Structure 1
């Protein structure tokens, strides 16, 4: 890959110092003074780069690897070429994520669109009743509504609209084109471009004359500290209760979360997931891409839901579910195996006849 001017290399950190910060063991102490400047995938890593490897299945990538150092566990360390220093750790993936944060801090949240901007752009509109702490940056064409409160160090991108009474915590990033209304955001929240928070939930009742009557939506959205929400994701406000996103939860692009949904702490929700209204999701739940969750159900703590699953009923804590309708993973895999076997047998019989 050509030199990436969007994220230039770090000035350099000593490998020994980096190992200490990552909690990894540097197997060759003589390499401690080597400088690490960037992160890279194994197959094209060059001098000054650090990479990581989780499986021997990727060992062919080592043939072209010229990295200064690699993060891996003890089993993989044995196959690493001698010119690459080994940082041994049982949590190579986590350590690599921390290395990226150290080497590329500017990539950890969306950057300002305009250079050299500090304070409030003269091209933004800020209502006179809004209250802003020190160090808030508001970029051109943003609209800050009446009685909005924004905490210190928060960045508001171009084209952002914050509705009346919205409260944003400290060190948040609200990226270009995001819309927030009827919502309270904690500290260090990141909204990526186009995210829409706090609009009406989808609620209608039958009309005696035919058609549907809109049910009023007068709840809020509560987003706790350290939540990250992807581009074009939508989170509806509650009907009468609140929609809540728990501390540390990470939500991918193009996710739809309905009214009154309550999501626990440190969950991971991948792109295209849809969660219908009044569903409760516990702590530490992982939901694969394009899964759909029915309304008014409860997903227990620590549940894992496979991609493209259809969840129609409660799932107990700690379970792994998949399929349509979603069922315990062992049952889902058995069903898939049986269907595959039937198809193989049909094709075999057809071949015999021909």
Structure 2
């Protein structure tokens, strides 16, 4: 059984309630009255837990699981052991995520470190800051002049909100976050260590070295954006850096100055996006992708992990490789080079290695 000591279990949900919540179907001979209080992986779940199965690689774990119920896709029903309670979903991941949110509401967004609402006497809040009712500002946080913070927002210990910033309602500003030159919408989550609104990287060669280019733009972050730990988003140079509604940015990503990211896009860990790049709506960028400056990535495009994007990517395209190009072309080249390398091997070549 998974250790949920940091997120306590409540009364739980019956299998019938889960079906109503998610729109999934009851599996054959599955009792809708089974009550589940937690979630877990197939190999760790107990009789009070819901698990899921969506990959044949884990067929052995499905056969041996002790979970109280499992969500499966219709294409995998033949692998479900006899007598195992199950639910059938069109989209297993979406259904399982919905149940997790219902069973563990405290895990939806970071909570305050201390269970209190209001401004800690050990926080530094400028008297000109406008703080709505129901805001929590924890110890050692610093809030500068003219800052506006909406109700329900939590500013965690050690966070810095610099002069003139605006934060919407029900936001979470994590520990050691530094926020400057930025405007945030509602329900924005910034995990610990995020830095937003610092100088973009701008220099020009001068007579005696590199001369600084001033960065006078802002960072605009729309509603329901989430930014992972230690990510950085530079402020614009002569226009704003903007992150669209619902976009999710993973840990340790770097977003350069003047970048515009659309709505509901996904940017995975250690991605670097150079200045003045445009990323459309619904784009998915895999881990450790590098994107050069002044390019455009069209709506719905997908970039494979470890790729290098140096040119515009069309709407809806799937690209990968270095330099990135259409996935089929990239995989064909990789296969060709692999086969060529095999053909080029000889006893003499192997000895030279």
Quote the Cα distance in structure 1 between the aligned partners of 2:350 and 2:239.
Answer: 63
Q: Which residue in 2 is equivalent to 1:228?
A: 226
**Preserved CA contact (<8 Å) 2:2 2:40:** no
For residues 86-105 of structure 1, the aligned pairs below 5 Å read 86-105=86-105
Mapping of 1:264-303 within 5 angstroms? Answer: 264-303=262-301
Q: State whether residues 261 and 278 of structure 1, in contact with CA within 8 Å, keep that contact through their aligned partners in structure 2.
A: yes
Give the Cα–Cα distance (whole angstroms) in 1 for the partners of residues 345 and 313 of structure 2.
37
- 8 Å contact from structure 1 (residues 195, 234) kept in 2: yes
Q: What is the deviation of 1:117?
A: 1.6
SS of 1:96 mapped into structure 2 = helix
How far apart in 1 are the matches of 2:253 and 2:304?
15
1:158 aligns with 157
Q: 1:32 to 1:289 in 2, by over 3 A?
A: same
TM-score, length of structure 1 as denominator length: 0.96
For residues 183-222 of structure 1, what are the structure 2 equivalents within 5 Å?
183-207=182-206, 209-222=207-220
The Cα of 1:10 is off from its aligned counterpart by 2.8
1:110, CA displacement in angstroms? 1.6
Residue number in structure 2 paired with 1:308: 306
- Measured in 2, the distance between the counterparts of 1:186 and 1:166 equals 11
Contact 2:119–2:138 (CA<8 Å) still a contact in 1?
yes
DSSP-derived class of the 1:238 partner: coil
CA contact (8 A) 2:150 2:169 kept: yes
Paired residue secondary structure (1:72): strand
Residue 69 of structure 1: how far off its partner (Å): 1.1
1: CA distance, partners of 2:257 / 2:346: 50
Query: Is this contact kept in 1: 2:30–2:85, CA < 8 A?
Result: no
In 1, distance between residues paired with 2:289 and 2:218? 25
Kept in 2, the 8 Å contact 1:303–1:315? The answer is yes
1:318 aligned residue: 316
TM-score (structure 2 length as normaliser): 0.96
Q: Deviations over 1:269-323 (max 9, x none)?
A: 0111000000000000000111000101111001100111111110110111111
Asked if the contact 1:224/1:248 (under 8 Å) is kept, the reply is: yes
What root-mean-square deviation, in Å, do the aligned CA atoms of Structure 1 and Structure 2 show?
1.6
Query: Judging changes above 3 Å, is the alpha-carbon distance between structure 1 residues 30 and 340 closer, same or farther for their aligned structure 2 residues?
Result: closer
Structure 1: runs of 5+ lacking an equivalent:
none
Question: Which range is displaced more, 291-300 or 344-353?
Answer: 344-353
Greater mean alpha carbon deviation, residues 283-292 or residues 6-15: 6-15
What is the Cα deviation at residue 349 of structure 1? Answer: 5.1
Partner SS state of residue 220, structure 2 = strand
Inter-CA distance 246–59: structure 2 relative to 1 (3 Å threshold) = same
The CA distance in 2 between the partners of 1:31 and 1:273, in whole Å, is: 46
1:26 aligns with 2:26: yes
The match for 1:139 is 138
- Tell me the equivalent position of 1:37: 37
Q: Residue 43 of structure 1 contacts residue 63 of structure 1 at CA under 8 Å; is this kept in 2?
A: no
Q: 1:343 aligns with which of 337, 341, 344?
A: 341
